[in-house]
Chains A and B, each alone.
Chain A
Amino acid sequence: MGRFLLRRLVTSVVVLAGLAVVTFLMTQVLPGDPARAAAGRNATAEQVAEVRVRLGLDQSLPDQFTGYLGRLLHGDLGTSVFTQRPVLDDVAAMLPASVELVLAAMAINIAVAVPLGVYAAYRRGRAADVAARLITLLGAAVPVFWLGLMLQLVFAAQLRLLPLTGQLAFGQEVPKITGMISLDALLSGNWAAFGDALLHLVLPAVTLAAAFVAVVARTVRSSVITTLDSDYITLARSTGASELRVVVRHGLRNALVPASTILGMQLGWMLGSTVLVEAIFGRTGIGAYAVTAVLQNDLYAVIGTVLVIGVVFVVMNVLVDLVQLWLNPRLRQAGSRERRPEIAVRA
């Protein structure tokens, strides 16, 4: 168990170090003068010179990297030339709205994909299975941003069932506690605002979830099929257990091992996909921030979001490992050589 975790932690540290190198290189490949880029388009020559010294751009490359790493470790992600604020502060202000969106999308993802996968496995080869395959096929092929616009068109503009954009209706007030509006509304007991915030979450969350449902449903389907065909399920049946008990108590945990890996990774990918969703729905999250930053040539803001999402991703991976340890006792054995299955699915 210790060895498994240690191995994963070492990998995480390597990945984080690599992330630092990659983002450092991003600051270097920029055509033109990085000091000018960091200072902003309208900076004066003195400002550019000042930035050059502050960022150590007059030093050798290895020294620059050491300086960069040192600033990262102190939480200094640079200053946004667009907002004129430290990138870390910006990102910290934006992250809660994105986390709220990702959690809502994940809830929808699980609620749709797991039953869909289980049902398709049960009705293997029959009409329901074909229908599920069709849904997963479309889900894997739909452009996220386009789906968001279409949902807006139908449910907000035409049917007027849900708000078009924003996070909270005009006139609603919620104190800032966690930064997640729905949660803050709940914590402050403002039920009207809570309901309103949830309504604002529906369309973006459905949009974000759509692409991920396909992968999960597919995984759940195949792992449920494998599980239901196994001898230990027949054995459970042979002891007189009810069908529901056979599936839920004897089968589900095994069937969820592959799905849990993918769901964990998807949290990170979803955070990445907020780039395509948040701007459409006028949500002030990290994805919308990254897009604005790119379009404003605000390099350090872009790199800051890349770093933060990377760190979240690495943390998610460690959490996935912990869930795996809980679900799969074989991993807990000392010196186990078994590794997490490699996942080749990307979003």
Chain B
Amino acid sequence: MTSALLSVRDLRASYPGPAGPVQVVHGVDLDLARGEKLALVGESGSGKSVTARAILRLDTDATLSGRVELDGADLLTLPPRRMRAVRGARIGLVFQDPLAALNPVMTIGWQITQPLVIRGVPKKAARRRGVELLARLGVRDAERRFDDYPHQFSGGMRQRVVIAIAVIADPDLLIADEPTTSLDVRVQARVLELLHELTDERDMAVLLITHDLGIVAGFADRAVVMRHGRAVETGPVDDIYRSPRHEYTRALLAAVPRIGGDHTRPLVTIKEGGQ
């Protein structure tokens, strides 16, 4: 962890609510080295997605504090113009629901090439790179399908398009927010595999956000377990699997169905109140 790509310190996020601001993230620390794969695990409502969006400052109504350093520069204090240069080009984001994330009235080709086009890449070159990438992601007949609209694709294929948008400008870090949750079980593994291969090839660091500890094992090097807006456990994935320190982590692990697992073990009840 000597050359930290991303370093998050004491990140807090709150949103306006009917009775004053509601704090959702209560001081999260994260470190991510170049090319490393880190999983951020927690149930829905644990603040993991908000953390991901906070890194990119995507929620305009959120109040953020702490530090989010990318190669030493604090993103939270970056002027909007320079923040835009980070989005897409240095950090890409894969969305959870590909149907909602794709613009229904634009061709997928137009959407895939946007991150390049807005940075001055000529349309032709952008198209060539887009088609190549789509083909690499396993979309058959990518050249022809480039001019199709999102509704003409299946869920798994749409998610490949979303991934293509996130990686086409070759960011150093890819944040994948529940990238397989909305997909058919049969294609989940394949999409995850593709994500793994692609980021390896391009030496991208990945921050995988998921509620499913089951998919973390084969994918990430390290994991951070979040609950109620706080990181409750951090460490190499193997260690967490073998000897989870926090009660909550043990409960999450117990919820993962594993072949040959211990079915006789009783379910763990978690005490409220975090650590």
Contact = CB atoms under 8 A, between A and B. Distances in A.
A42 interface: no
Contact of A240 (B85, B102, B104, B162): B85
Closest 10 CB pairs of A and B: A240-B88, A239-B88, A240-B87, A231-B100, A239-B115, A232-B103, A238-B93, A329-B149, A231-B101, A240-B84
Contacts of B58: 234, 237-238
A236 interface: yes
29 contacts: A230-B100, A231-B97, A232-B100, A232-B102, A234-B58, A234-B95, A234-B101, A235-B93, A235-B101, A237-B58, A238-B87, A238-B88, A239-B92, A239-B114, A240-B85, A240-B88, A240-B89, A240-B115, A240-B119, A240-B169, A241-B114, A242-B84, A242-B118, A245-B118, A253-B105, A253-B106, A257-B105, A329-B149, A329-B151
Q: Which of B56, B84, B105, B166 lies at the interface centre, i.e. has the most chain A CB atoms within 10 A of its CB?
A: B105
B152 interface: yes
A235 B161 CA distance: 12
B104 to A, nearest CB: 6
Most chain B CB within a 10 A radius of its CB, from A237, A238, A257, A329 = A238
Find the residue from A236, A240, A245, A254 having the highest chain B CB count within 10 A.
Answer: A240
A36 B166 CA distance: 77
Nearest to B96: A231
A47 interface: no
B84 A232 contact: no
A323 to B, nearest CB: 13
Contact of A239 (B102, B105, B118, B151): B118
Interface in A204-262: 230-232, 234-243, 245, 250, 253-254, 257
Contacts of B166: 238
Nearest to A326: B105
Interface of B: 56, 58, 80, 84-89, 92-93, 95, 97, 100-107, 114-115, 118-119, 149, 151-152, 162, 165-166, 169
A165 B84 CA distance: 55
Given A231-B100, A235-B165, A239-B115, A329 B105 contact: yes
Contacts of B85: 240
Interface in A320-347: 327-330, 333
Q: Which of A231, A243, A328 neighbours the largest number of chain B CB atoms within 10 Å of its CB?
A: A231
Nearest to B119: A240
A62 B35 CA distance: 83
A261 to B, nearest CB: 14
Contact of B151 (A238, A250, A333): A333
Nearest to B98: A231
A232 B87 contact: no
A240 B84 CA distance: 4
A301 to B, nearest CB: 45
B166 to A, nearest CB: 8
Interface residues of A, number: 23
Contacts of B115: 239-240
Contacts of A232: 100-104
Contacts of B118: 239-242, 245
Contacts of A253: 105-106
A237 B57 CA distance: 10
Given A231-B97, A239-B118, A241-B118, A330 B104 contact: yes
A250 B103 contact: yes
Contacts of A245: 118
Contacts of A242: 84, 118
Nearest to A235: B101
Contacts of A328: 104-105
A253 B149 CA distance: 14
A232 B102 CA distance: 5
Given A232-B102, A254-B105, A237 B152 contact: no
Given A250-B106, A329-B151, 12 more contacts: A231-B100, A235-B101, A235-B103, A235-B162, A236-B103, A238-B92, A238-B93, A239-B118, A240-B115, A241-B84, A241-B118, A330-B151
B56 A238 contact: yes
Nearest to A251: B103
Nearest to B148: A329
A234 B95 CA distance: 9
Nearest to B97: A231
A7 B151 CA distance: 22
Interface in A120-140: none
A239 B101 contact: no
A285 to B, nearest CB: 37
Contacts of B151: 329-330, 333
Contacts of B149: 329-330
Contact of A254 (B84, B104, B107, B169): B104
Nearest to B89: A240
Most A Cβ at <10 Å: residue of B87, B103, B152, B169: B103
Contacts of A240: 84-89, 115, 118-119, 169
A327 B103 CA distance: 12
